[in-house]
Amino acid sequence: MDYFRVADLPAVEMLPGLVRRAVWLDRVMLTFFTFEPHTVIPAHEHPHEQITYVVQGALEFTLGDETRRLNAGEGVCIPSGVRHGARTLDQPTVALDAWHPVREDYQV
């Protein structure tokens, strides 16, 4: 796929209130997340490096032992194997994640 529209990518409901869409090549992946207010992403870790960027709304994001509010225009870099989680606040939120290596479990 050379060109895409996010709205045309297959949507996967990962958790109640959390929808994921993804696009990828052999060595890089982007995921587009839409969150309803008060959605919780439980703390977890994975071998992938991840960069999260908040496009709209806000996330309360925990990386290791530190929790910060990320507003639209802000992001976080998550190294491989570091525990992290998030929750949305009172508004719908849109975030973009970049991944390396590609998450095969996110390919639809």
84 Cβ contact list (under 8 Å, min separation 6): 43, 44, 45, 61, 62, 63, 64, 76, 78
Q: What is the pLDDT of residue 97?
A: 98
Residue 104 Cα distances to 27, 55, 65, 90, 107, angstroms: 11, 24, 28, 32, 5
Q: Is residue 16 part of a domain?
A: yes
Residue 38 token pair: 């008060």
Residue 85 Cα distances to 1, 5, 72, 80, angstroms: 31, 28, 17, 14
Q: What is the pLDDT of residue 105?
A: 95
Q: What is the pLDDT of residue 81?
A: 98
Q: Is residue 84 part of a domain?
A: yes
pLDDT tens sequence across 28-83: 999 999 999 999 999 999 999 999 999 999 999 999 999 999 999 999 999 999 99
The label of the residue with tokens 């570091």 reads 82
Tell me the residue type at 64.
Answer: G
Number of domains comprising the chain: 1
Q: Is residue 63 part of a domain?
A: yes
Domain coverage including residue 82: 6-106
pLDDT tier at 108, thresholds 50, 70, 90: confident
* pTM of the entire predicted model: 0.94
CATH code of residue 35: 2.60.120.10
Q: Is residue 48 part of a domain?
A: yes
Q: What is the pLDDT of residue 1?
A: 67
Q: Is residue 17 part of a domain?
A: yes
* 27 CA to centre of own chain: 18
Q: Is residue 1 part of a domain?
A: no
Residue 99 token pair: 């991944």
Q: Is residue 95 part of a domain?
A: yes
pLDDT tens sequence across 4-41: 999 999 999 999 999 999 999 999 999 999 999 999 99
Tell me the residue type at 98.
Answer: A
The residue ranking higher by pLDDT, 31 or 1, is: 31
Q: Is residue 44 part of a domain?
A: yes
